[in-house]
Amino acid sequence: MGWERTDSGHLGKTHTLNSTRSATAPLLAVRGEIVYFTSDPASRGAAACEHFPDGLLVIANGRVVRCGPAAELLPALPSEARQIDHRDKLILPGFVDTHIHYAQTSIVASYGARLSTWLAEYAWPAEANFIDPAHAAAEAAFFCDELLQNGTTTAMTFATMHPASVEALFEAAAARRMRLIAGKVLMDRNCPQNLRDANAATGDAQSRALIEKWHERDRLAYAITPRFAPTSTPEQLQLASRLFHEIPSLYLQTHLAEQRDEAAWVAKLYPDARSYYDVYASRGLSGTHSVFAHCIWLENEDRHMLADTGAAMSFCPTSNLFLGSGLFNLARAREAGARIGMGTDIGAGTSFSLLRTLSEAYKVLQLAGQTLSPEEGFYLATLGGARALYLDEFIGNFAPGREADFVVLDPQATPLLARRMANAATLRERLFVLMMLGDEQCVAATYVLGEPMFYRNSHRINHSNPPSSKVASHAF
Ligand code: GUN
Ligand code: ZN
């Protein structure tokens, strides 16, 4: 078997990255303890997990060529392959954040409010500042760096209602070669005047212009982004639906059934709707590529309908606790067959770290009499998120051909972790400790398309480029 790949997959209709068809592409081999999922451990159990205690991830042109035990792969590795040694670390696919607001980064941890007052007092004033493109550019750069520092390589994010806020974010993500899905927030009622679309048609026109410029450019994709039912007129939702159906590759992101009083408000605003979910579904807004954040106060019938359309739920536990929203019912969501991803929901969420988010998810589920195994947690933060976003053909694990986005976790990052890890005998135990005690301090490095985009100062990456006179030999 050779190192070369013959199918390069694709990044979107106009991607500009190199393909991996070249048999002589320089190889990168990253060594460490490798863990990833090939399916959902909730249904497949241990068979869902690939684990190589001393593994090698071989990459060419930013894509995975092979992944397996180092002892098996190293002897045939071409001598000119660049090797990176992360042997005392865990290597996992980059984390996927399925719901976050980049424009709320600077107001994270604002005290003492429920959703409606939190929006009015903190979120909306912060978003209004994005009228200034220079502010948007600075916030977007900080945001993308923060994602990378936390091991997150793919995110689905809200911008603000200002088109320039989307431009700034896509530019920042493209500069870092990250996968990012984002959109201009649509709001044409029940919000401050300075954040309101002049009318439904102007919001639609601005979305279309952004789609034209950015959708499927490099690793970027556009999400039509009606904030939530209360801030859109029926006309605005109708236009969003028309656009969503016109271009099937577009995403749609919104909030659904986060708080009880929000749901009661929606019932008043949309008296003809059978339920909150029905406000969206009856207008054709639930389908493949739709992501609904929160999904707490849902009738079970709606969970099933949502799942049947191919839409996804984003579970945002730190936000749900912070705003006192309620407890996401993972068991019911799974029974319904819904696609489920994890979301940090910054700035109502309290951490960019998917590790911290998993810790809170575990506790939310404990309160609901459910549980979250470490395997299921890490699955949700990687392949589960990729599936929720219909990106699993590109990211989420280390199958050959996948984009080489990965995070290097240091299980000894703090004295407490090191002490605790000394008592953890199995991978499962160590994953659980990381999930409960870990945060961005554990992220030793984050790689995007095989390139280190972030590494902690204290962590030295050992790049070695052994000189070789040999011509690349791909016989393996
Ligand atoms: N519902 C509508 N807008 C928002 C928001 O910005 N954050 C959260 N958590 N919920 C919302
Ligand atoms: Zn949100």
Provide DSSP, 450-464. TEEEEE-TTPPP-EE
Give yes or no: residues 151 and 119 share one domain.
yes
Looking from the CA of residue 101, the nearest atom of ligand 1 is 6
The residue-averaged pLDDT of 215-244 equals: 98
Give yes or no: residues 265 and 310 share one domain.
yes
What pLDDT is recorded for position 22? 46
Structural domain boundaries, residue 76: 28-92+402-470
Q: Mean pLDDT check: name the lowest of 12-26, 235-249, 423-437.
A: 12-26
What pLDDT is recorded for position 262? 98
The residue-averaged pLDDT of 239-267 equals: 98
Rounded to the nearest angstrom, the distance between the alpha carbon of 129 and the centre of ligand 1 is: 17
What pLDDT is recorded for position 66? 98
Domain assignment present for residue 122? The answer is yes
Give yes or no: residues 316 and 425 share one domain.
no
What pLDDT is recorded for position 411? 97
Give yes or no: residues 128 and 263 share one domain.
yes
The residue-averaged pLDDT of 327-338 equals: 98
Give yes or no: residues 158 and 41 share one domain.
no
Domain assignment present for residue 476? The answer is no
Check pLDDT > 80 for residue 370: yes
Give yes or no: residues 384 and 452 share one domain.
no
Domain assignment present for residue 133? The answer is yes
Closest CA to 365 of 334, 338, 387, 344: 334
**Alpha-carbon span 20 to 17, nearest angstrom:** 9
CA distances from 246 to 211, 239, 254 (A): 12, 11, 18
Phi, psi of 180, deg, nearest 5: -145, 135
**Alpha-carbon span 3 to 277, nearest angstrom:** 48
Calculate the CA dihedral of residues 37, 41, 45, 46 and round it to 10 degrees.
Answer: 30
The CATH number given to whatever domain includes residue 60 is: 2.30.40.10
Give yes or no: residues 143 and 285 share one domain.
yes
Closest CA to 360 of 327, 318, 322: 318
Q: Which residues pair with 28 in a beta bridge?
A: 59, 82
Is the separation of the CB atoms in 306 and 292 below 8 Å? Answer: yes
Give yes or no: residues 123 and 264 share one domain.
yes
pLDDT tens column, 126-182: 999 999 999 999 999 999 999 999 999 999 999 999 999 999 999 999 999 999 999
Cα first-last separation, the chain: 5
**Alpha-carbon span 7 to 14, nearest angstrom:** 17
What band does 33 get if pLDDT is binned at 50, 70 and 90? very high
pLDDT tens column, 76-130: 999 999 999 999 999 999 999 999 999 999 999 999 889 999 999 999 999 999 9
Domain assignment present for residue 348? The answer is yes
Calculate the CA dihedral of residues 274, 276, 282, 288 and round it to 10 degrees.
Answer: -140
Q: Report the number of distinct structural domains present in the chain.
A: 2
Domain assignment present for residue 20? The answer is no
Rounded to the nearest angstrom, the distance between the alpha carbon of 140 and the centre of ligand 1 is: 19
Provide DSSP, 379-431. HIIIIIHHHHTT-TTTSSS--TTSB--EEEE-TTSSHHHHHHHTT--SHHHHH
Check pLDDT > 70 for residue 349: yes
Closest-approaching ligand to the CA atom of 98: 2
What pLDDT is recorded for position 25? 82
Q: What is the mean pLDDT of the chain?
A: 92
Identify each DSSP E strand in 70-123 by its residue range.
82-93, 95-101
Structural domain ending residue among the three candidates 332, 358, 388: 388
The residue-averaged pLDDT of 288-296 equals: 98
Domain assignment present for residue 4? The answer is no
Domain assignment present for residue 360? The answer is yes
The residue-averaged pLDDT of 8-22 equals: 36
Domain assignment present for residue 394? The answer is no
Give yes or no: residues 227 and 328 share one domain.
yes
Work out the burial of residue 299: count CB atoms within 10 Å of its CB; fewer than 13 is exposed, 13-18 middle, 19 or more buried: middle
Give, as one character, the DSSP assignment of residue 122: I
Ligand 1, atom 8: nearest CA belongs to which residue?
348
Q: What percent of the chain has pLDDT over 90?
A: 89
What pLDDT is recorded for position 381? 99
Rounded to the nearest angstrom, the distance between the alpha carbon of 204 and the centre of ligand 1 is: 21
Looking from the CA of residue 348, the nearest atom of ligand 1 is 9
What pLDDT is recorded for position 407? 98
Rounded to the nearest angstrom, the distance between the alpha carbon of 348 and the centre of ligand 1 is: 7
The residue-averaged pLDDT of 3-29 equals: 49
Give yes or no: residues 225 and 247 share one domain.
yes
Structural domain ending residue among the three candidates 359, 388, 417: 388
Give yes or no: residues 46 and 163 share one domain.
no
What pLDDT is recorded for position 476? 28
Closest-approaching ligand to the CA atom of 126: 1
Closest CA to 25 of 74, 68, 58, 47: 58
Phi, psi of 189, deg, nearest 5: -165, 165
Structural domain ending residue among the three candidates 388, 417, 449: 388
Rounded to the nearest angstrom, the distance between the alpha carbon of 69 and the centre of ligand 2 is: 40
The residue-averaged pLDDT of 217-234 equals: 98
Is the separation of the CB atoms in 401 and 7 below 8 Å? Answer: yes
What band does 19 get if pLDDT is binned at 50, 70 and 90? very low
Ligand 1, atom 9: nearest CA belongs to which residue?
348
Pocket of ligand 1 (CB under 6 A): 101, 115, 119, 123, 227-228, 255, 258, 319, 345, 348
Give yes or no: residues 318 and 380 share one domain.
yes
The CATH number given to whatever domain includes residue 205 is: 3.20.20.140
**Alpha-carbon span 196 to 348, nearest angstrom:** 21
What pLDDT is recorded for position 23? 53
